[in-house]
Amino acid sequence: MKRLLFLMLFFAPGIAAPSFDEMSEAIARGEFGNLRSVVISQDGEILYEQYFRGSTAADLHQVQSVTKSVGATLVGIAHRKGLVDLDEPLETYFSGLYDMSQAALADKRSITVEQLISHRVGLEWDETSTDYRDPLNSTHQMIDSPDWYRFVLQRPLAEPPGANFRYNSGASVLMSRVIRVATGMSPDRFAREELFDPLGIGPVRWELYSEEGPGTGLTEWANPDGDEPLGFGLWLRARDLLKIGELYLDGGVYDGRRILDESWVEAAWTRHSHAGNSDYSPGLKWGYGYQWWRSVFTDTGGRSWHLFFASGWGSQVIFLLPELDLVMVTTADNYDWNGPDVDALLLTWVLPELAPPLDSRFDGAWYDTATAGQGFSMEVREDRGQLVSFWYTYTDQGAPRWFLLDGSVVDGIGEVVIYETQGGRFLQNDPVVTVPWGSGRFIPRDCDHMDFEIVSSEVATTLPLTRLSGDCYTPPGG
């Protein structure tokens, strides 16, 4: 009880919940285009959920190329079941439709499933230099063709398969055939049985984009199977997109049920494409995995974060930030919007409100860069909600001074009583006396930085601490 009272003397209880009122007003004013929904969860709890421009939580929205991330997830589920081998060639899946020895197809036979899902198929393809509605766009041309699979497979090779990354919706469409042959089901049926139903996702719809609006787009698929395309065309609710994000953030487990292998999630987020094998990736920190994008970026406060995301034309996005255990989903009709996109929304309005909670990821050594040679060691016992730290510093005369910090984690912040140690001799069993000296709070800013607020009769200050050892988050694939 004394320890609790000591803490209460120095710190006001409770941490204010994030306020996103100004963000809602900015979205409503159209500062980020025609956003329809924004949903944010942290640690599996909804922080924010708002719908705009007449949309509701029950509305299905066309998620465009987020369909690719769902499609690759289906391949991952089939892989977990032993139905798909990533090293298998496309000939295994398409020889039942076409004579793969034909001149136009023969050099595509050895393209593997992994090259397909990482968009390293080597085909001539350009869907990034023109709008999707432009007849010169490769995806537009595929949609206009009588057989989408054949159109993709007959494209000339621009480079050896596996060598370089080139964003290719046609490659994603070929995943539909992989699912059909591997499972004996259509992509929609397999998705319902193995992904949508277990996650409580539905209803769903498949329909292509139409400028005339919902209900006027293509719903019949020009491939010999008639199967739904896994490159685009899926319609989901915003909450359902959130569930897919949480599945990945939780390592392939949803509501206690394993859907994907954790190794698949890691592979899906590994940088299979980068500036070294692509002229599309905008920097060394960017990359493309198994139809998920990844990046490292700095927010407006100078904090660094790892970001993984599924992205669709028109600002359909699932953002994942593992260090914050955060999922952010947007749906929109930003097909002709040239202003700030939803990444700016994340940077400007969302992240300034959030910080990672103090937990065992922060175990290790910390120090103030202005006082090298002094520092802290820390251990957080999450099972007990306990925090123990040792502070190694010096007196004004340069003699060693040692503090014990003991406390707990409250609302993601470490609250401790600081005890100064007295007595004891080197390698001797002398009693060590701990005397209450003050109180402190460890407040994380990002994975490698936190502030330590100190209040005592001797000093009241804040030390900016930098990580010296340990890792808060190690991304897959470097």
**Domain spans, the chain:** 2-14+358-467, 21-353
> Angle at Cα 295 formed by Cα 291 and Cα 296, nearest 5°?
160
Indicate the pTM of the whole model. 0.91
State in words which class domain 2-14+358-467 has. mainly beta
Domain 21-353: CATH superfamily, name plus number: DD-peptidase/beta-lactamase superfamily (3.40.710.10)
Location of structure tokens 């010169």: 136
| First CA to last CA distance, the chain | 47
Cα 367 from Cα 377, distance rounded (Å): 9
CA distances from 97 to 103, 154, 280 (A): 15, 14, 33
Q: Do domains 2-14+358-467 and 21-353 have the same CATH topology?
A: no
Which residues are CB-neighbours of 67 under 8 A, at least 6 positions away?
172, 229, 230, 231, 232, 233, 234, 312
Digit-by-digit pLDDT tens for the chain (478 residues) are 333 333 333 333 334 557 799 999 999 999 999 999 999 999 999 999 999 999 999 999 999 999 999 999 999 999 999 999 999 999 999 999 999 999 999 999 999 999 999 999 999 999 999 999 999 999 999 999 999 999 999 999 999 999 999 999 999 999 999 999 999 999 999 999 999 999 999 999 999 999 999 999 999 999 999 999 999 999 999 999 999 999 999 999 999 999 999 999 999 999 888 767 777 656 557 899 999 999 998 888 889 899 999 999 999 999 999 999 999 999 999 999 999 999 999 999 999 989 999 999 999 999 999 998 999 999 999 888 899 999 999 998 999 999 999 999 999 999 999 999 988 888 888 888 899 999 999 999 999 999 999 999 999 999 999 999 998 888 887 6
Instruction: Report CA dihedral (421, 426, 429, 430) to the nearest 10 degrees.
Output: -40
Q: How many CA atoms lie within 13 A of 242 on its CB side?
A: 24
DSSP type of residue 52: -
DSSP helix/strand/coil, 185: coil
Q: Decide if 146 contacts 42 (C-beta within 8 A).
A: no
